[in-house]
Amino acid sequence: MKSKPNKKAARIAKAAADTAAYTVGGVIRLCFRVIATILLIIITTGLLFACIFAYYVKTSLSTDLDISLSDVSLALSSTIWYKDSDGQYKELQTLYSKENREWVEYENIPQYLEYAAVAIEDKRFYKHKGVDWYRTLGAFSNMFLSMKNDFGGSTITQQLIKNVTKYDDITVQRKLLEIFRAMEFEKKYTKEEIMEWYLNVIYLGEGCYGVGTASKMYFGKEVWELSLAECASLIGITNFPTLYSPYNSVENNKERQETILWEMYDKGYIPTYEEYIEAVNEELVFQQGETESRQQPIYSYYTEVVIKDVLNDLVEQKGISMDMAKLLLYSGGYQIYACIDMDVQNQIDGIYRDLTALPQPYVASSQQLQSAIVIMDPYTGDILGLTGGVGEKNGNFILNRATETKRPPGSSIKPISVYGPAFDLGLITQTTLVNDSPDIVLSGTSWYPRNAGNSYRGITDIRQGLVSSLNTVAAQILDKLTPQASYEYLTERLGITSLDPDNDVAYAPLSLGQLTNGLTVREITQAFSSFVNDGVMTYGRTYTHVLDSEGNVVLENTPKTIVAFKANTAWNIANMLNAAATYGTGWEANLNTMPTAGKTGTTSDDRDRWFVGFTPYYVAGVWTGYDTPEPMRFYGNPAAQIWKKVMSPLHEGLEYKTFSYPTIGPPTNIFGDLEEDEEEEPSPSPSESPEPSESPSPPPSDSPSPSPSPSPTPSPSPSATVPPTSPPPTETQNPGTPSPPPTSEVPNITGPIQG
């Protein structure tokens, strides 16, 4: 009887065991599935990440370093060439570096100096392929654990890459780029070549680049004469020159030297303990050695601009540091072909170096009047001549007022910031009527300018607004155009880079030229080239190309252009500026023998005076003022007077040409239908020019008559390349030297500005 229950219990137990086993097996199978799924996700994610990373490296990280060891170790001077009037190249300037840098060949570098660098900077230098992955992984782990942007882990190869490129920003992208470049670099160069390059470019304090000059500076001897102790001392400086230079702290340098000596002994680079102790105990005798320095000739302003343009292009196009670009330029035997026209440059120098040839103030200042000029070929962008100051140049890389100084342009900005864009967008024509009144309310601002002398013409046209530089007209046009549209034309089409996007996208800066920082003479001259060249703006250039010592092209500087305006826009602006330079505010610049167009500019209290003008042959900009801004007390506009003095001889013997005649459209009535109001209002007379204070007035003369407005009937637009011909002006066609207009043109926000 008992066997049956036992059998039944056994069956139940077996079933329970089977169920438990099945359950456990299911759990195990489930765990395996989960683990497999997780592994599959990890592998898939890893592969996906690897693909994305590979694509990123290929498309975003350029590992190619466009520079070779042979480029920087030649120790050959570079030369700037120019083409003379016969088409022959002649030497303009040979370039010499003033830096303390002397290249030392690998064979002349002491073995102990190399070992010292390896022992303290890169212990596995001879084993790795550019990257020490142990140190790199440790550096990345340290970064993520400590949440600090302090990578470290750089090998000598990576440090060399950093010295060559000067990418000092501490980011993951920069570190990745450095890693891949280092690996690529080691494929091209041997360890000996890398060490030679590294020891010749490291900075060792006291203005010394490389061990060649540093050994003379600190020990007064050639680098190959250094002892073991001196090698360790010298290498110790590079980690932190201001801390470890013996001229700053002998104690710090000694402590660093002993650390390096121990590392050298520990790694087997010092064979015996006795030699190690002997090096530690050796007395270091530092002496202020003299490094050989070559006396630089005084470069011209033009030569310095060529040098800076080439250096900037080397940095940008080769992805190297400015220090490395200088090493290439001064030591690579480059041949640089400049755009300078010596006839143009000599004419500039003849006026600017002779202080008596410059306009003289009727109220003297304690400062010398300064001026800068840039003359360009508007079709090629060639800067044919420039100067950055008056008198004799007595130093290298002193202030260049033509390319570096930014000064408010006053009304000279109006053609490019207001009239040109508004014409281009069809908002205005020359015959569009506008109310030159002090009582206009603008739609986009509560600000509104005054005309100088509080003189207003009433109903007038756009042509007269530009010819007479009426501030109210410029402000009303900008109101319709909008400051944002003006800013975009200047920055995106006209090459203007000096505007402040936070403060200059506003009415006063863009309509009256009261900019936060101002403009350089170079960039506003460049922008005006668009009016001569059918609306195409050509970026200014000082050189055409650069060759290396073997004749290979290093830089190709072809003309860069951008369509700034429609051709008819440019012709209309040129037509109006021709009137401005003949009858209007720019009359003092009129050449008489060649069509002249241009715009004056004057800032508050006559602190800056400008004239930017052009002929069918040239475009030129002139700024005058004082280095420390103060009111200028001159009869007339000194910038326009200098412009004419320089430009008149350059046009002697040139074929007479005219500007292309524009299609002049009907009025747009964007300011309302003002024709009836115009018929009712009497024509106002211009106010007299205010007399200068504390000085007798110039001889009295009548204000010039307004230039006649063109007929609203559109004229056929001739081809841009074949302008209509007309005979040279005769005495009856050209007023010769008209009477001066009022000297005040432009008001500022708080009161009259001149322009």
DSSP track, 107-139: GGS-HHHHHHHHHHH-TTTTTSSS--HHHHHHH
- Which pLDDT belongs to residue 296? 74
What's the whole-number average pLDDT of the chain? 84
Statement to judge: residues 250 and 363 lie in one domain: no
Q: Please give the residue that has the higher pLDDT: either 22 or 628.
A: 628
Q: What is the pLDDT of residue 324?
A: 86
The residue written with tokens 């002139």 in the block is: 622
pLDDT of residue 142: 59
Nearest to 433 by CA among 402, 470, 473: 473
Residue 144 pLDDT level (bands cut at 50, 70, 90): low
> pLDDT grade, residue 700 (50/70/90)?
very low
pLDDT band at residue 35 under the 50/70/90 scheme: confident
Q: Does 668 fall in a domain?
A: yes
pLDDT of 701 higher than 60: no
Residue 453 has a pLDDT of: 79
Asked if residue 359 lies in contact with residue 638, where contact means CB atoms within 8 angstroms, the answer is yes
Host H or E run for residue 79: strand 78-83
Specify the CATH number for the domain of residue 140. Answer: 1.10.3810.10
DSSP secondary structure string for all residues of 255-315? HHHHHHHHHHHHTTSS--HHHHHHHHHSPP---------PPPPPPPHHHHHHHHHHHHHHH
- Tokens 């002491």 belong to 110
Q: What tens digit of pLDDT does each residue of 334-358 get? A: 999 999 999 999 999 999 999 999 9
DSSP 8-state class, residue 37: H
- The model carries a pTM of 0.77
- Domain-ending residue, one of 659, 680, 701: 680
- Looking at per-residue pLDDT, the higher value among 319 and 719 belongs to 319
Q: What percent of the chain has pLDDT over 90?
A: 64
- 676-695 average pLDDT score: 44
Provide the number of structural domains found in the chain: 2
474 in a structural domain = yes
Asked whether the predicted pLDDT for residue 724 surpasses 90, the reply is: no
Q: How many CB atoms lie within 10 A of CB 395?
A: 9
pLDDT over 70 at 714, yes or no: no
The reported pLDDT for the residue numbered 753 is 42
Q: For position 707, what pLDDT does the model report?
A: 42
Phi-psi region of 619 (alpha: psi -120 to 50; beta: other; left: phi over 0): beta
Give pLDDT, residue 165. Answer: 77
Q: Span 569-592, mean pLDDT?
A: 97
Is 754 a member of any domain? no
Output the pLDDT for position 27. Answer: 76
Please, are residues 581 and 587 in contact by the beta-carbon 8 Å criterion? Answer: yes
Asked if 517 and 396 sit in the same domain, the reply is yes
The band of 248, judged by pLDDT with boundaries at 50, 70 and 90, is very high
122 has pLDDT over 70: yes
The answer to whether residue 430 scores a pLDDT higher than 50 is yes
Query: Each residue of 458-498: pLDDT tens digit?
Result: 999 999 999 999 999 999 999 999 999 999 999 999 999 99
The pLDDT score that the predictor gives to residue 171 is 60
Where residue 589 sits, what CATH number does that domain have? 3.40.710.10
User: Among 323-327, 516-520, 611-615, where is mean pLDDT lowest?
Assistant: 323-327
Q: What is the pLDDT averaged over residues 222-237? A: 96
Structural domain span for residue 484: 355-680
For residue 486, the model assigns a pLDDT of 98
Q: Would you say residue 145 lies in a domain?
A: yes
Host H or E run for residue 643: helix 638-650
> Which domain-ending residue is among 680, 695, 717?
680
User: Tokens standing for 238?
Assistant: 């590079």
Domain edge (last residue) among 265, 281, 297: 281
CA torsion 674→679→682→683, rounded to 10°?
70
Query: Distance of CA 374 to CAs 33, 439, 457, Å?
Result: 77, 40, 35
pLDDT tens digits along 256-276 = 999 999 999 999 999 999 999
Q: Cα separation of 329 and 204, whole Å?
A: 21
649 φ, ψ (degrees, to nearest 5) = -65, -30
Together in a domain, 272 and 363: no
Q: pLDDT band for 447, please (50, 70, 90 cuts).
A: very high
Reply yes or no on whether the pLDDT at 699 is more than 60. Answer: no
**247 within a domain of the structure (yes/no):** yes
Residue 297 counted as domain residue: no
